[in-house]
């Protein structure tokens, strides 16, 4: 299925600690149905020094979020919306906002769906 959320999308988180926050998608994990959003779902990993002299400590990172827990932000609606697909006259497949019908972005969607 073609991805409803792709890299560089602005998404809003629908559930959990970061609910209501927006961020940019930095990574998509299609097989896991998860996305990594910049600055959101921050977790701290406690690491031990692996070699003598190496610093031990806490490493902060953005943990993946389930795709179903985020919504793409429509630039027209200014809010998270559901996304559909349609074909333009020239055959290019685009994502559209289900609410206002506007094209979410001009970027081509992969043709696997």
How many other C-beta atoms can be found within 10 angstroms of the C-beta atom of residue 74? 23
What residues make contact with Zn ion under the rule CB under 5 A?
74, 76-77, 97, 99-100
| Pairwise CA distance, residues 41 & 4, whole Å | 20
Which C-beta is closer to Zn ion: that of 64 or that of 84?
84
Tell me whether residue 5 or residue 36 sits nearer to Zn ion (CB atom).
5
Q: Which is nearer to Zn ion, 43 or 76 (CB)?
A: 76
To Zn ion, the closest distance from the beta carbon of 37 in angstroms equals: 20
Q: Dihedral, CA atoms, 104, 105, 111, 113, nearest 10 degrees?
A: -10
């Amino acid at each position: 299925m073609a991805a409803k959320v792709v890299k560089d999308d602005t998404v809003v988180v629908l559930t959990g600690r970061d609910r209501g926050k927006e961020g940019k998608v930095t990574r998509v994990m299609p097989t896991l149905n998860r996305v990594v959003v910049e600055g959101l779902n921050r977790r701290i990993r406690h690491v031990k020094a692996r070699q003598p002299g190496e610093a031990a400590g806490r490493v902060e990172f953005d943990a993946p979020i389930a795709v179903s827990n985020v919504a793409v932000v429509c630039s027209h609606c200014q809010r998270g919306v559901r996304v559909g697909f349609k074909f333009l006259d020239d055959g290019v497949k685009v994502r559209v906002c289900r609410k206002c019908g506007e094209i979410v972005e001009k970027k081509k969607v992969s043709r696997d769906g």
